[in-house]
Structure 1
Amino acid sequence: MEKAALLNAIVYNAIDGIITTDDFGTVESINPTACVLFGYSEQEVLGNNIALLIPSLDWPSRDYFSSRYKTTVDSPFIEKARELKGRTKEGYQFPFKLGVSEVHYAGRKIYAGFIHDLSQQKADEERLKNYASHLEELVELRTKTLNDTIKALEKSKEKVSATLEKEKTLSKLKNRFLSMASHEFRTPLSTAQLSASLIEKYAEPLENANITKHAGKIINAVTNLTTVLNDFLYIEQLEIGRVKTNITYFDLKKLGEEITEEMQLLAKGQQQIHFTHNGTQKLMHLDANLLKNSIINLITNAIKYSNDTSRIEFTTEINDTNCIITVKDEGIGIPQEDQNHLFEPFFRAHNTGNIPGTGLGLNIVARYIALMNGCISYSSIVNEGTQFTLTFSMK
């Protein structure tokens, strides 16, 4: 009795559906799980043919089992599980796996069917199938997009290569032209400047103001044009990498005095260039030529953009940590909105008006200072003046 009760409890609480029939497929028992799966009550199923629940099943008859399933005379029949479709009371079909066992009980044969619902499994498989299909489509689309991108990049690469070749050719032509122009124009300009100076000298006994005036205009025009050509030549040399630093020891104070003397001759009207060297240390380890050109450029700007009676402060200092060089003027200053572009080539502040210039000077200075591992900074107020500071580390 206990065993029977235990078996009954196992069948009653099984997670799979269990149905028993006789030889002719008449349902003799059905557990609660099978009732839930098919949507029938136990009373609605008992005594009915199994075809009520599984229409597609050719439920085994006595001859069917003996001819098709039984492997030996002595062994009980166990049908290999197969997938079928069940039909619920509402008429819906669902997939399940059916395994059938032949049971000998009380001198008769009973067939027990074990039903494992496959609805969730099939739904998961379908979802995975759809996802796999989606991934395949996505991979195909991405592959096509990638191939299209590669083709576009190849075309762009060809265009860029062609453009670069054109740029290289144009750059070579430009550099050749600048080099040729700078050198070819320099000789006639030097001749014109020398001739204008001689005219001034020869005109002194005549005391003719007009001759002196016009000779001065010629000299100024030649000086400005020479400055322009020099700027182009310096830029050309920087672009092609010809500018190399020649680091040597030199007397910074002496260099400052020489520059001041030279630039004072070019000052306008009553302008005064005041040079000061701070500290006892004088020797500096830099490229004297590049530094001199940079300082001359800054002082030239101070002269150009200041009035005829202004004072230009030029100071040098060497201490234990830095070499500091400043050029300060009382000129027109640099507008705040223009300051971010100050070192760009060919840029000129919008308040420079008709004052001649190429917009290359500060770009050249910044690049020279960078070649010597220094830095350039500035401060400026419109109509009050500008100060440029060159700083080099002594470490």
Structure 2
Amino acid sequence: MGDSDQKKHESYRYEALFNQASMGIIVVNNAAEIQSANPFALGLFGYALEELLQKPIELLIPGRYHNRHVGHRDGYTHNPKTRPMGVGMDLFAIKKDGSEFPVEVSLSNYQDEGKQFIIAFISDISIRKKAEAEIEELNNKLESTVEQRTRQLTAAMQDLEQSKDELSKLLEREKELGELKSRFVTIASHEFRTPLSTILSSTYLIERYTRTEEQPRREKHLQRIVSSVQLLTDILNDFLSVGKIEEGKIQVRFTRFDIQELVWGIVREMEVTLRAGQQLMYHHQGEPVVELDASLLKHIILNLVSNASKFSPENGPIVIETSVEQQEVRLSVKDHGIGISSEDQKHLMERFFRAANAGNIQGTGLGLHIISKYTELMNGSIQCVSELDQGTTFIITFEQNPVKE
């Protein structure tokens, strides 16, 4: 086969490839005028070949991109290089009927008889773009679903954590109530023994004092019985109060009342229960009308005075002071008893705590705990000032709104 036949054969081969290619192929000259287009490209754009020849390539590009495209293709003309399809630009093309569709374009160039030509390989990527859009929509829906499920799971986890916390609190409360019951049995077996023995022995002795002149002895033992019963009642009341506090059943009822009248009533009530020679002294400063829970305040004062009496020597004075200044109500109970160490003062308000120097003095270790809780319920604070063998002063301060007459 001669050179002429070889060239003719290669021409046929390239022409077959050009005509049978399954992508659009358009050849333009250096002026970006269309020189040729294969059948696939003509079918893609809906033109006959005669309608495209010598027309600018911008005919196949939407008008809004013309200015930008002219700049791109002039730049390419001055610096032509092969741009593979894989790194081709995603563009929009326009058909003869005006409809637009997305395309991917790859460029190449060649020279023939000293003239430069550019070949554009064009692929319709409508199906791919549609698939990508569907995948993106699916991903968005999936992300939305995952986000929603995550929120639901987070909410469920939070509910579970809250339920866990509530269960832990319930278990802790059950544990505390169990401890309270256990302590009650222990303390009851110890603290009840002495007053019950006193009641039993006094009752037995009263039966033996039958003569009239023995009336003072009978009265003495009757008083011992009354005191012992009162002690048992106080112990039971302490446990009942702690139980109500733990269960949140204490309701605070603020009322307006004369604090001087309340304290003087307590002084008269407590004087008969003091140890031999002990004396209660009371002082007040400021307006007498306050707004607190009178019942809780009375319990606080009774408990503090009872403690002061128990831990003070005979003939020791116990001083109660109250004052009302602007928005503050102040109560203090001072004794000259055995005092409390600085270490024990850190634990005074804990349930069942008893100071190391309490010795055999009866008590449940609940009184100050109850006082502290009642004080909190009335928006107050409690302070202890004490030294060993130097006496003790409890100071309670309540913040309240000004009371108008």
TM-score in terms of structure 2 length: 0.52
Say whether the 8 Å CA contact 2:199–2:228 is kept in structure 1.
no
Letter in structure 2 aligned against 1:293: H
Matched residue SS, 2:283: strand
In 1, the alpha carbon distance for the partners of 2:322 and 2:167 equals 48
Say whether the 8 Å CA contact 1:76–1:103 is kept in structure 2.
no
Q: Per-residue deviation at 1:231?
A: 0.9
The answer to whether residue 14 in structure 2 is matched with residue 65 in structure 1 is yes
In 2, the alpha carbon distance for the partners of 1:315 and 1:350 equals 28
In 2, the alpha carbon distance for the partners of 1:293 and 1:62 equals 117
The answer to whether residue 308 in structure 2 is matched with residue 359 in structure 1 is no
Choose from 253, 258, 261 the match for 2:268: 261
Choose from 291, 297, 300 the match for 1:291: 297
Say whether the 8 Å CA contact 2:26–2:119 is kept in structure 1.
no
Mapping for residues 89-108 of structure 1, pairs under 5 Å: 99-106=107-114
In 2, the alpha carbon distance for the partners of 1:331 and 1:355 equals 13
In 1, the alpha carbon distance for the partners of 2:226 and 2:326 equals 44
Name the structure 1 match of 2:35.
75
Name the structure 2 match of 1:205.
213
CA deviations on 1:165-205 (whole Å, 9 max, x unpaired) are: 99679969x99xx9xxx9xx9xx98x959x75994997893
Choose from 255, 276, 279 the match for 2:283: 276
Q: Identity rate of aligned residues, in percent? A: 32
Letter in structure 2 aligned against 1:205: E
Q: Per-residue deviation at 1:325?
A: 1.5
Matched residue SS, 1:327: strand
Q: Per-residue deviation at 1:327?
A: 0.3
After superposition, the Cα gap between the structure-2 partners of 1:353 and 1:77, relative to the gap in structure 1 and judged at 3 Å, is farther
Name the structure 2 match of 1:233.
240
After superposition, the Cα gap between the structure-2 partners of 1:374 and 1:164, relative to the gap in structure 1 and judged at 3 Å, is closer
The answer to whether residue 374 in structure 2 is matched with residue 368 in structure 1 is yes
The answer to whether residue 316 in structure 2 is matched with residue 316 in structure 1 is no
Mapping for residues 62-211 of structure 1, pairs under 5 Å: 64-69=13-18, 75=35, 81-83=84-86, 99-106=107-114, 154=160, 157=163, 161=167, 164=170, 192=199, 199=206, 205-206=213-214
Name the structure 1 match of 2:352.
346
CA deviations on 1:14-57 (whole Å, 9 max, x unpaired) are: xxxxxxxxxxxxxxxxxxxxxxxxxxxxxxxxxxxxxxxxxxxx
Gap runs ≥5 in structure 1: 1-60, 85-96, 114-135
Letter in structure 1 aligned against 2:236: L
The answer to whether residue 387 in structure 2 is matched with residue 377 in structure 1 is no
After superposition, the Cα gap between the structure-2 partners of 1:82 and 1:242, relative to the gap in structure 1 and judged at 3 Å, is closer
Name the structure 2 match of 1:389.
395
Letter in structure 2 aligned against 1:225: L
In 2, the alpha carbon distance for the partners of 1:77 and 1:278 equals 111
After superposition, the Cα gap between the structure-2 partners of 1:112 and 1:151, relative to the gap in structure 1 and judged at 3 Å, is closer
CA deviations on 1:230-254 (whole Å, 9 max, x unpaired) are: 1122233444455434444433223
Matched residue SS, 2:372: helix
Say whether the 8 Å CA contact 1:330–1:384 is kept in structure 2.
yes
Matched residue SS, 2:273: coil
Q: Per-residue deviation at 1:293?
A: 1.4
In 2, the alpha carbon distance for the partners of 1:163 and 1:317 equals 40
Q: Per-residue deviation at 1:81?
A: 2.6
In 1, the alpha carbon distance for the partners of 2:372 and 2:15 equals 104
Q: Per-residue deviation at 1:359?
A: 1.9
Letter in structure 2 aligned against 1:75: Q
After superposition, the Cα gap between the structure-2 partners of 1:316 and 1:212, relative to the gap in structure 1 and judged at 3 Å, is same
CA deviations on 1:205-258 (whole Å, 9 max, x unpaired) are: 34998x898777655543332211111222334444554344444332232222
